[in-house]
């Protein structure tokens, strides 16, 4: 169905991006998979693109010649969205990594898609500004974050990536360039194509520039680590905190087991590991008294609800130690097993305890080790299914069983398949089951409007 | 092209919504226009719908019989989006006005679309919660607010309606019912159909239920009224406030002329009218000391930048007096003339002064009175073009001239056609000019995916 790359195609691409076209053995096998590796396939040609016009020229060529194109940032995805399942061209955006403008009057920063989240966070922080989205994976690109509507730790108070995307420059699969939104706060000017691109995992267009909203950097930030006797006790306090009308920046849940993996992976001690479950909270703001007041109120509430203690994490060193551990959970669990897959469901935050309890039952009934951690404050859980010493086929069989149970339960709780990692290749069947035929048909219709020849990241999200 | 309503259709509709179907002389002429009345056309039949299933049955019937359908809330729109330009069926949603659930654990409220903004605001406030979107028109329905992605006064700090829509129940033009999003904070589960519905002005589906995000009600709120010698002086301080990294809830600009219209319209005195230009700010939060500190810092900044004074508006009575006046500006300007039309551009907030200055030039060169006010903090301006004693044809001629100039200038400033009032019928040509053929083609493609027979609010936004 798709055209296979020939020498003439390589020459044409070389004319568009001189010196930045690689084929065959010149391409590292890293480009054949993402972070979890559930699907693997090499692109036929890798193009390190350098700007909007170049992306446009490549897409125009690919569209005319029916060559599939996949965009890749840092490759930190977990659902195969950036894997070239049909071969073809891979556009690598990590060379487009300039921060183009900080506009202090409009509180925006304009970036290329290959800027890494950690680079952006540091750049704006040094200048007294704050880019709130804070996914655990700091080496992801901003383009990737936008493409999955990444959430992260601070969604409880500050929302998700979508809430910070003011404007996008997008190259459509036909090579046309469109400017969506801008440095504007409000917009009621037709269908929000910008919001359709956010979270579309590189299937509707290629993001080549983004205008992001910033906030002034809060002057105070304190964390609180609270140990509990059990997962249930830890998670049941979260709705009480919400009811108490305080607004923590983050509320993370972690089990001792996960913390121990992280200690061993990082080779660094976590401040406390004697309890079986913890919640870790952050509070921020510009008035120290208010931030401290919120922290104290929550600490008291936790103690009333069975917390063993409440440790204030206020020095930079201690903050770094706990948040570094939290940031390493995925890698740490990965290092604890031979292979794993994940489930990134989001449920109403009042259902988190119930859902985690259910994963324990699934682990038991299916016979898999299923560690998890989660953004307790926003209902987004990261549940890992570990192969350990199982045979590959047996693991696959149990995996499918466990996924089917867990996604069905998420739906029953009023939740959805993915909170922040996306659908990509790996979760298509679960999305289809949950959304039903009518919504999937709308999505396929939209895909066809943007990409009539289905050359851009084919067979992802809603197509197969 | 569309089927005209016959007796058989009335009977079929009556079977769906017994006692709530009205035709011909039974329909008040109010249903033939919206608040500005730039386009007028009566529906052939009015159905006061009562629930999702009923909306579904009406749409299924209309789709099978090629009858156009327009949804109407309170009719407070300004661009003709709720006018039945092809006749057919008007679905009136004001009877679907129940607040269904306040979920304190998930911080959401679930409402029917006909709930009025002022009803919702009061309901949640009485219970210690806060629904931040605050358009001037408090008698608009929530369904209408979602359909235009309404913004309002507090967008500076809290964002717009889109940011508060967690989930929607939507009936598609085919009669199919879909549930989009839910009581969830994060979502990366396929294309965001929810965000496509937000701001689509009733052209893609009918919203029959919404899950809205709430915040805890801030305990302190103070306003500051600052008089200046000139519009330029008043507006030039706004970027300085933003640069100073304080976050007011609202920054509104108003001229003496507009305030005087409002005084005369409401028959109530504004606290101060001696200066030619004002900015009105609000600050809110949970720590009185911080709120007061921010207010003082901004007052000082304004005085350094040429403010004549800075009046603290802290009693409930004074707050009501200034904000009631602000809320009445549109009606007050309307009462000052024989007929008017409006321009609701949004520009980067650093360009507000420049744009208002340009409207003065246009008023001069075209020969029209053009009063304006605006959300200075978010770059959204409301500019009114008044007919006064002009002949109808001459007014239309000058109106077109003025619109063409102003929308072109908004585009040059990096702005867009509409910040919060939408495109509807009246602004289609300006949207098309600004977005260009490629984006308009995408929007038309999306419309066709949702509504293959083009029965739902035809010829609005991107079609004609």
- β-pair partners for B283: B222
Q: Is the pLDDT of residue A360 over 80?
A: yes
Between CA B71 and CA B97 the distance in angstroms is 15
Q: Residues B406-444: pLDDT tens digits? A: 999 999 999 999 999 999 999 999 999 999 999 999 999
Between CA B94 and CA B113 the distance in angstroms is 8
Q: For residues B159 and A37, which has the higher predicted lDDT (pLDDT)?
A: B159
Q: Which residues contact A91 (CB under 8 A, 6 or more apart)?
A: A47, A49, A55, A58, A69, A70, A71, A72, A206
- Other beta carbons less than 10 A from residue B453's beta carbon: 17
For B414, the enclosing helix (H) or strand (E) is: none
Q: Which residues of A touch B286 (CB under 8 A)?
A: 290
Beta carbons of B379 and A105 less than 8 Å apart: no
C-beta separation of B12 from B96 below 8 A:
no
Closest to A419 (Cα-Cα) out of A193, A160, A132, A194: A160
Q: Which two tokens stand for residue A204?
A: 């509707």
Q: Residues B356-381: pLDDT tens digits? A: 999 999 999 999 999 999 999 999 99
Closest to B270 (Cα-Cα) out of B247, B251, B254: B254
Report the pLDDT value the prediction gives residue A165, as an integer from 0 to 100: 98
In the stretch 88-147 of chain A, residues with CB closer than 8 A to chain B read 103-107, 128
Q: Is the pLDDT of residue A138 over 90?
A: yes
- Other beta carbons less than 10 A from residue B15's beta carbon: 11
Q: What band does A314 get if pLDDT is binned at 50, 70 and 90?
A: confident
Between CA B190 and CA A417 the distance in angstroms is 9
In the stretch 162-201 of chain B, residues with CB closer than 8 A to chain A read 162-163, 172, 176, 178, 180-193, 195-196, 198-200
C-beta separation of A84 from A75 below 8 A:
no
Q: Residues B90-140: pLDDT tens digits? A: 999 999 999 999 999 999 999 999 999 999 999 999 999 999 999 989 999
- Other beta carbons less than 10 A from residue A306's beta carbon: 14
Report the pLDDT value the prediction gives residue B438, as an integer from 0 to 100: 98
Full set of structural domains in chain A with CATH: 7-92 (3.30.43.10), 99-216 (3.30.465.10), 220-330 (3.30.70.2190), 334-412 (3.30.70.2740)
Residue of B105, B346, B431 lying closest to A190 (CB–CB): B431
Q: Is the pLDDT of residue B316 over 90?
A: no
Strands (E), A164-296: 165-171, 177-181, 206-213, 215-216, 220-228, 250-255, 277-285
Q: Residues B172-214: pLDDT tens digits? A: 999 999 999 999 999 999 999 999 999 999 999 999 999 999 9
Three-class DSSP category at A388:
coil
Closest to A143 (Cα-Cα) out of A161, A122, A125, A123: A161
Report the pLDDT value the prediction gives residue A211, as an integer from 0 to 100: 98
Q: Which residues of B touch A285 (CB under 8 A)?
A: 290
Beta carbons of B190 and A439 less than 8 Å apart: yes
Q: Is the pLDDT of residue B37 over 80?
A: no
Q: Is the pLDDT of residue A12 over 80?
A: yes
Q: Which two tokens stand for residue A246?
A: 């305080």
Closest to A423 (Cα-Cα) out of A463, A376, A370: A463
In the stretch 37-96 of chain A, residues with CB closer than 8 A to chain B read none
Q: Is the pLDDT of residue B464 over 90?
A: no
Judged by a CB distance cut-off of 8 A, whether residue B204 touches chain A is yes
Mean pLDDT taken over chain A: 96
Report the pLDDT value the prediction gives residue B247, as an integer from 0 to 100: 87
Three-class DSSP category at B346:
strand
Return the exposure string of A374-388: e unless at least 16 CB atoms fall within 10 Å of the residue's CB, then b.
Answer: bbbbbbbbbbbbbbe
Q: What is the mean pLDDT of residues B276-295?
A: 93
Report the pLDDT value the prediction gives residue A294, as an integer from 0 to 100: 94
Mean pLDDT taken over chain B: 96
Q: Which residues contact B120 (CB under 8 A, 6 or more apart)?
A: B99, B109, B111, B131, B142, B212
Q: Is the pLDDT of residue B278 over 80?
A: yes
Report the pLDDT value the prediction gives residue A1, as an integer from 0 to 100: 83
Q: Is the pLDDT of residue B1 over 90?
A: no
Q: Is the pLDDT of residue A37 over 80?
A: no
């Amino acid at each position: 169905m798709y055209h296979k790359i020939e020498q003439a195609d390589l020459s044409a691409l070389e004319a568009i991006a001189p010196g930045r076209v690689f084929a065959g053995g010149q391409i590292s096998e890293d480009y054949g998979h993402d972070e979890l590796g559930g699907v693997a396939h090499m692109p036929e040609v890798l193009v390190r693109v350098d700007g909007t016009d170049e992306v446009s020229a490549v897409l125009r060529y690919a569209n005319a010649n029916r060559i599939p194109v996949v965009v890749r940032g840092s490759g930190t995805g977990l659902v195969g969205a950036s894997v070239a399942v049909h071969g073809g061209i891979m556009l690598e955006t990590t060379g487009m990594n300039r921060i183009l403008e900080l506009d202090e009057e409009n509180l925006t920063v304009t970036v290329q898609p290959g800027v890494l989240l950690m680079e952006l966070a540091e750049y704006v922080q040094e200048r007294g500004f704050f880019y709130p989205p804070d996914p655990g994976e700091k080496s992801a690109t901003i383009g990737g974050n936008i493409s999955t509507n990444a959430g992260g730790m601070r969604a409880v108070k500050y929302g998700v990536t979508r809430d910070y995307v003011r404007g996008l420059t997008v190259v459509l699969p036909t090579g046309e360039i469109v400017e969506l939104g801008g440095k504007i706060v409000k917009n009621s000017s037709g269908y929000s194509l910008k919001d359709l691109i956010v979270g579309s995992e590189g299937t509707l267009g290629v993001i080549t520039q983004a205008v992001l909203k910033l906030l002034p950097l809060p002057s105070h930030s304190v964390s609180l680590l609270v140990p509990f006797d059990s997962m249930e006790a830890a998670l049941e306090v979260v709705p009480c905190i919400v009811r108490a009308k305080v607004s923590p920046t983050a509320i993370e849940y972690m089990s001792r087991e996960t913390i121990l993996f992280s200690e061993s992976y990082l080779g660094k001690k976590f401040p406390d590991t004697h309890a079986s479950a913890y919640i870790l909270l952050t509070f921020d703001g510009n008035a120290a008294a208010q931030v401290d007041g919120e922290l104290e109120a929550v600490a008291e509430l936790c103690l009333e609800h069975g917390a063993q203690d409440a440790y204030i994490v206020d020095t930079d060193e201690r903050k770094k130690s706990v948040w570094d551990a939290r940031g390493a959970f995925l890698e740490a669990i990965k290092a604890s097993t031979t292979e794993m897959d994940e489930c990134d469901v989001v449920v109403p935050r009042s259902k988190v305890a119930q859902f985690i309890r259910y994963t324990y039952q699934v682990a038991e009934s299916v016979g898999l080790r299923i560690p998890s951690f989660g953004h307790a404050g926003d209902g987004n859980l990261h549940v890992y299914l570990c192969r350990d010493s199982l045979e590959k086929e047996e693991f696959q069989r149990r995996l499918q069983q466990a996924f089917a149970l867990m996604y069905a339960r998420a739906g029953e709780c009023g939740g959805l398949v993915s909170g922040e990692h996306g659908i990509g290749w790996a979760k298509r069947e679960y999305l289809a089951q949950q959304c039903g035929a009518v919504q999937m048909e709308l999505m396929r219709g939209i895909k066809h409007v943007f990409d009539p020849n289905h050359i851009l990241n084919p067979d992802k999200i809603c197509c197969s």
